[in-house]
Structure 1
Amino acid sequence: MQRGKISFGKIQLNVNKAPAEPKSNETEREDAKVSTEAGGNGGGFKKMDKQQMIRQIEDVAEDLESQHLKEVMGISGFGRKAAKVFDINEQIEKARVTRPGMDKKKEEPKPEDDVKEGEEEEEVIGPLPPAVTTDKEKTTKEASKDEDSDDDDDSSDEDSDDEQSLAKRIPYTHEVQMQHGSRAVLALAGDPSGARLVSGSIDYDMCFWDFAGMDSGMRSFRQLQPCENHPIRSLQYSVTGDMILVISGNAQAKVLDRDGFEKLECCKGDQYISDMSRTKGHVAQLTCGCWHPFNREQFLTAALDGTLRIWQGLKSKEQVQVIKTRAQGGLRTNAASCNFNRDATLIAAGCVDGSIQTWDTRKMFVNTTHCVRDAHQKGSEITSIVFSYMGQQLATRSNDETMKLWDLRQFKQPLHTWTNLFSRYDTTDCCFSPDDRLLVTGESLPKGQAEANLYFYSTKSYEEVQRIPVSNAHVVKTLWHPKLNQLFVSCGNGTIKCYYDEQRSIRGAKLCVVKTHRKRQPMEMVGVSQIITPHALPLFRQEKSRTSRKRMEKARMDPVKSQRPDLPITSGQGGRVASSGGTLSSYVIRNLGLSKRVDDDQDPREAILKYAKDAAENPYWIAPAYKQTQPKAIFSEKLPADEPATKKPKTEADK
């Protein structure tokens, strides 16, 4: 049974009337002739022409402009006669196709029922709604999609089954070791993108590791000492990964760029000012520091002067805010660790007196937002304080061999306390897994134990999920990178271990393992004799063109060209008479008085008698004048050594 069509206005159903059949061209022409004969003049003929033209225009408009709309919405035509008409028959056919389970009685209703339905639906305005699929059809479609799915979906289902166990979430199937040095590695930080890793140790060195450039040898590409003779206590990348905050044993924090060049050094405060809020910076050793979660130019530092300081900007070297940590009686206490939460609305500090103090960044930093005085044992540093990724939980690690989990909504008592976690270093930390279901920490090597372990605890059931033996040295830092899904652990013997899973981890150390380490071939050195050309000798070498000023300075230094006069005579060495003595008399005696030097071991009598014969034969000075009057000289003869001297007789004069 055929139904009528619904216009855009009221929905009308012409059940009794059959739809008019379209007239052919011949019948239209006959009607036109009849109308002209009935009219008796040409006016009727013109009227029929206008109607025919209107029909043709409507047909063209239907064919060209509204063909797509007819297919989609069932619109039968555009024009002044019928605007936006919808065919009910087409909608019913679609409903029959989409509802194959309908009864035959419903498919072929009686005419009386149609009239009643039409009377009830006269108030409805607008087109019919599209056919709605039933729940059975949805289930059948989903079943067909599941059957047509690829192997990737099957693998994802297997992964979801594996993730039901927390132990299988830990990426520790493979292990890679990196050697930083020989001393304990106190600081460890990863790039947010997962491309690089930096480490700092107690021997003042800072190493840069690039996973894309390393091979299986796992060697750092740069090593430097940013803070001279101060151990590196903490390192952290900024949120954009282009800057590194360096916290050392010095009172001044430093900011380095990605390649290790210094961009900022915080100023040092005046240690003679008692009020720490009046100083421009820290006056004691730094203990901890961290970047703002989403502000790339703001960072937080803590020191042993009892303050936390917020620094803003790389140009200004003064702090923005000073936060003072107070003990029970209002006295000063030092903060051993500090951190921001994920949305930077809270600043938390773990103090030496065992208290946990937090401040709201949207308010003044005068009073604390939360303060738990007996959080840990008094006198033992809270070495790490970490917020969860969801921001509702807080984990603290202390040197009192405990680790505690806190809920910020109920901050008076910890959710759970894990004990027997020995720690020697004041930088031993803990961290959350990327899904906040696990809490990871390491221990220092206890006495009598072979290896130090890495512990994994559930944040819901508080049970130990896994224990991994790391090394025969202390475990200091632990980093679970959320993007790489890899674990980096620093040890007390200078090694850094990386744990990863082949299936769940991406990039990072996996890029380095596949690259084979190639040793450099030794180069053979061949000795080559030196060849000197004549023009290479200084005698034939042409002087380089120099300015007149330099030529004059060089000539001035030459004593011959400058005709330097003799230096003045000075006493001692260095003068012109230094070789002959320091006085004038020594000079005269050496050069004029003695032509030949007399040896000291020569007998003076023999030296004089050596010239006696010559003086007698050829007298020159005195002998010629007294030659005639001078008596003959008689010299005493030398007696032999054995013969005693004759005794001289006494004369009367002697008596």
Structure 2
Amino acid sequence: MDDFSADDDALREYMPMSFGKQARTTNIQAQFDLAKRKVVDESKQPTTKSSKPDEGNDSGASEDDDDDDDDSDEEDEFPVSHELLLKTHDRAVTTATLDASGSRMVTGSNDCTLKFHDFAAMTPTTVRAFKTVDPSATKSSANSETHPINQILFNPHSANQILVITAQPQARLFTRDGEQVLEFVKGDPYLRDMHNTKGHISEIKCGAWHPTNRDVCVTGGTDSTIRIWDVNNKREQKDVIVHRSRAAGSAGRTRITALAWGSQAQGGNSLLVAAALDGSLVMYSGEGPYHRPAAEIRDAHVNDTWTGGLDISADGRLVVTRGGDDTIKLWDTRKFKSPITTVSHESTSSQYPTSNIRFSPNSSSVITGSATGDLHILNPATLRPELVTPVTPGSPLITVLWHPKINQIITGSGNAETHVLFNPNISNGGAKTVMSKAPKRRHIDDDPNLTMDLAEGLSGDSIITPGGMPGTNTAATSFSARHPNVGLTASGKSRDPRRPHIPATTPFAKTNPDEKHIRDHIPLSSMRDEDPREALLKYADKAKNDPLFTNAWKHTQPVTLYGELSDEEEEPEAKKAKR
């Protein structure tokens, strides 16, 4: 009986318990474990002790338990315990932005492209951008060159407006779907007085949105001006601020390197703070007038060093700057004369001018990157690190962003990687939504590594389809024909090394039709390849028998007779030219 019962149990395990379509179940905790970061904080990892505690004394075990509790508390305090990696760019990621809901993320890079990501459409196995846009190659500027992306900003009051700033004198507005809707005007470079120009005359480096007015934004350029724009009027700026540099040898002009527009506490007027290349830090009233700054610090940072990081706290009382002189300084807007706190921090502005520094959503922390690829979370009172965690070791961390709605930190690095740091316990949406989904099922033919390579010949058991190419996999061919994105990387490149490289289309080639277009759309274009004499002689008999314009005089027209020139007669001399 025991043998029969054992056989029955084996049969029950083999046979299905139910029939029909089975519901797909996802082990979310297992996917979160895969996304868990191995190293959260190197400086605060529990240290190993060489000597063991005495037997009968439990003090050592209790200390270890306390250390573990402290580490877990630190992980829950900041959303850095897990991460989602995106490799959608080819060069350094210089800027990133999210909409107010945290569902759509846009990143900009030195590869001159914008990548649009939708967290709701991604799965753990399909982490890619759904659209790639080159802001310079638009319909209005089809012949322009491509330029790196300096800064992109979602409108905090509108989820369908993105301010895009490239290395050009014109800022642009894009929709959340990557369509350009507005391009601001370029100024006249031949006018000396910058108050009379309608726009920037040189490269724009930074920008910001108004904290309360959805239709107003500001840009700062290398022409020493800060220009305030109304999105409903692209032909001229609303106001212009000309920053007069007092540094010796600058001829009154400098470059605006960073901008921040924040609100004061208790509903007061907004503040507009700007940093310049001459080391100065100026503060204006956000609502004007802009004739002179409300406060100015000439030597906030060292002259001729790039201050790319600037941010205002949520209550409008603190300003933090990260300068190219390897310092981070904290300022009080109510006493805007000298820094409250100054700490040393290695700068990456010489290589990446867009390296920034940001306040947390509730201004309880300050976050920034480092040249070694670490994320620094600082105390806003002392600027001392509360947490230092490596993100991209060996590659500089350029841009950082702490989103208030989803409570996640987005970082961009010099190795073209974008990291979304989160914690499943305190984060919502964003990367947590992606990791909560079931991985997308893949067919075996989707992997080019498992398909047959014709370079090594045909195997003995290979099947040749009648009427087809040898070694052609019919299932794989039909599947790839139905799914053109199969076998592509996140940036759109082919994973199959056998696929020929498609050269990039240059702006010159975009304006010139190719041979196929000419042959299909231009009538009689094939006559270009014929001999002109032979082409005309084809119609000689037809023109003689059925004239088109002289048909009325066909029977009355006399026959044309030409005189023949004998060899003895001399040709008439050409008339002498009049002098």
Question: Where on the TM-score scale, by shorter chain, does this alignment land: which range?
Answer: 0.5 to 0.7
TM-score scaled by structure 2? 0.61
Kindly provide the amino acid, as one letter, of the partner of residue 411 in structure 2.
V
Which secondary structure does the structure 1 equivalent of 2:334 belong to? coil
Deviation at 1:526, TM superposition (A): 6.0
CA distance in 1, matches of 2:206, 2:423: 31
Which residue in the other structure is 1:563 paired with? 542
Describe the shift of the 1:166–1:528 C-alpha distance in structure 2 as closer, same or farther (beyond 3 A).
Answer: same
Partner of 1:407: 332
Query: Corresponding residue for 1:320?
Result: 238
Contact persistence 1:167–1:466 (CA under 8 A):
no
Aligned residue type for 1:486: Q
- Against the structure 1 CA distance between its residues 207 and 406, is the aligned structure 2 distance closer, same or farther, given a 3 Å change threshold? same
Displacement after TM superposition at 1:291 (Å) = 1.5
Q: What does the per-residue CA deviation read over 1:412-465, in whole Å, with 9 as the maximum and x for residues that have no partner?
A: 1212112132313110001111221111110123xxxxxx21111111343211
Q: Is 1:522–2:445 an aligned residue pair? A: yes
Task: Classify the secondary structure of the residue corresponding to 1:511.
Answer: helix
Equivalent pair of 1:163/1:169 in contact (CA under 8 Å): no
- The SS at the match of 1:302 is strand
Q: How does 1:126-141 map to 2 (within 5 A)?
A: none
Please tell me the residue identity of whatever aligns with 1:172: V
Aligned residue number for residue 333 of structure 1: 254
Which residue is equivalent to 1:283? Answer: 201
Pairs within 5 Å for 1:176-195: 176-195=84-103
Match of 1:459 among 380, 399, 409: 380
Write the mapping of 1:325-364 to structure 2, written as runs, cut at 5 A. 325-328=243-246, 331-342=252-263, 345-364=270-289
TM-score, structure 1 normalization:
0.54
Q: Is the 8 A contact 2:183 2:234 kept in 1?
A: no
Deviations 1:563-598 (A, max 9, x none): 1459xxxxxxxxxxxxxxxxx99xxxxxxxxxxxxx
Summarize the Cα distance change of 1:268–1:169 in structure 2 as closer, same or farther, 3 Å threshold.
same
1:230 to 126, 147, 154: 147
- Residue 220 of structure 1 is matched in structure 2 by 129
Match of 2:488 in 1: none
> In the aligned structure 2, how far is the partner of 1:314 from the partner of 1:339?
22
User: What is the aligned partner in structure 2 of residue 243 from structure 1?
Assistant: 161
Describe the SS at the equivalent of 1:409: helix
Shift of 1:511: 1.1
Shift of 1:562: 8.5
Match of 1:254 among 159, 165, 172: 172
Change beyond 3 A, Cα 1:163–1:356 = farther
Deviation string 1:56-78 (CA, Å, 9 cap, x unpaired) is xxxxxxxxxxxxxxxxxxxxxxx
Alignment correspondent of 2:551? none
Question: Could you say what secondary structure the match of 2:195 adopts?
Answer: helix
Per-residue CA deviations over 1:349-396 (Å, capped at 9, x if unaligned) read 011011110111333211111111111111111102101112111111
2:301 to 376, 381, 391: 376
Change (3 A) 1:162 1:264: farther
Give the CA deviation at 1:176: 1.2
Q: What's 1:42 paired with? A: none
The 8 Å contact of residues 211 and 270 in structure 2, kept in 1 or not, is answered as no
Identical-pair percentage: 31
Residue correspondences, number: 380
CA distance in 2, matches of 1:393, 1:166: 25
Question: C-alpha separation between the residues in 1 aligned to 2:320 and 2:72?
Answer: 24
Q: Which amino acid aligns with 1:333?
A: T
Per-residue deviation, residues 270-301 of structure 1 (Å, max 9, x unmatched): 11110011111111011101122222221111
Question: 1:164 Cα shift?
Answer: 12
The separation in 2 between residues aligned to 1:164 and 1:462, in whole angstroms, is 23
Question: For the Cα contact (< 8 Å) 1:233–1:288, is it kept in 2?
Answer: yes
- Residue type of the alignment partner of 1:400: D
Match of 1:432 in 2: 359
Structure 1 position 258, deviation (Å): 1.3
Q: Closer, same or farther in 2 for the Cα pair 1:263/1:436, shift >3 Å?
A: same
Using the TM superposition, give the Cα deviation of residue 163 of structure 1 relative to its aligned residue in structure 2, in angstroms: 13
**Alpha carbons of structure 1 residues 526 and 470: separation in structure 2 relative to 1, 3 Å:** same
Q: 2-side partners of 1:490 and 1:462: how far apart?
A: 22
In structure 2, how many angstroms separate the alpha carbons of the residues matched to 1:436 and 1:166?
18
Deviates most, 418-427 or 434-443: 418-427
Which amino acid in structure 2 is aligned with residue 325 of structure 1? H
Relative to structure 1, is the Cα distance of residues 221 and 350 closer, same or farther in structure 2, using a 3 angstrom cutoff?
same
The amino acid across from 2:376 in the alignment is Y
Letter in 2 for 1:218: V
In 2, the alpha carbon distance for the partners of 1:201 and 1:252 equals: 18
Q: Which residue of structure 2 aligns with residue 493 of structure 1? A: 415
Q: 1:419 aligns with which of 344, 363, 366?
A: 344
- Label 1:564 to 1:286 Cα distance change in 2 as closer, same or farther (>3 A): same
Counterpart-to-counterpart distance in 2, 1:324 and 1:164: 51
Distance in 2 between residues matched to 1:163 and 1:361, nearest whole Å: 43
- C-alpha contact (below 8 Å) 1:197/1:209 kept by paired residues: yes
| 1:385 matches 2:306 | no
Query: Does the C-alpha gap of structure 1 residues 296 and 520 become closer, same or farther in structure 2, counting only changes over 3 Å?
Result: farther
Q: Which residue of 2 aligns with 1:202?
A: 110
- CA shift, 1:522, in A, is 3.2
- Structure ranking higher on relative contact order (CA contacts 8 Å, 6+ apart): 2
In the alignment, which of 303, 320, 329 is matched to residue 221 of structure 2?
A: 303
SS of corresponding position for 1:563: helix
Q: 2: distance between equivalents of 1:167 and 1:522?
A: 41
- Tell me how large the CA RMSD over aligned residues is: 3.1
Does the alignment pair 1:169 with 2:92? no
In structure 1, what is the Cα distance between the partners aligned to 2:211 and 2:205?
20
SS of 1:277's equivalent in the other structure is helix
Q: Which runs of 5+ in 2 are unaligned?
A: 1-68, 138-145, 452-463, 469-522, 524-534, 546-565, 568-579
Contact in 2 for aligned 1:201/1:231 (Cα 8 Å):
yes
Are the aligned partners of 1:292 and 1:299 in contact in 2 as well (CA < 8 Å)? yes
The answer as to whether partners of 1:479 and 1:488 remain within 8 angstroms in 2 is yes
CA deviation after TM superposition for structure 1 residue 315, in Å: 4.3
The 3-state SS of whatever aligns with 1:183 is coil
Which letter does structure 2 place at the counterpart of 1:455?
Answer: H
Query: Is the CA contact (8 Å cut-off) linking 2:94 and 2:412 kept in structure 1?
Result: yes
Aligned pair in 2 of structure 1 residues 316, 252: CA closer, same or farther (>3 Å)? Answer: closer
- Matched residue, 1:268: 186
Counterpart CA distance in 2 for 1:200 and 1:181 is 8
Shift in Å at residue 165 of structure 1?
A: 6.6
In 2, Cα distance between equivalents of 1:245 and 1:208? 14
* Distance in 2 between residues matched to 1:258 and 1:268, nearest whole Å: 24
Amino acid at match of 1:381: W
| 1:109-120 alignment, distance < 5 Å | none
SS at match of 1:212: helix
TM-aligned CA distance change 1:165 to 1:400, over 3 Å:
farther
CA distance in 2, matches of 1:232, 1:185: 9
1:521 Cα offset (Å): 5.1
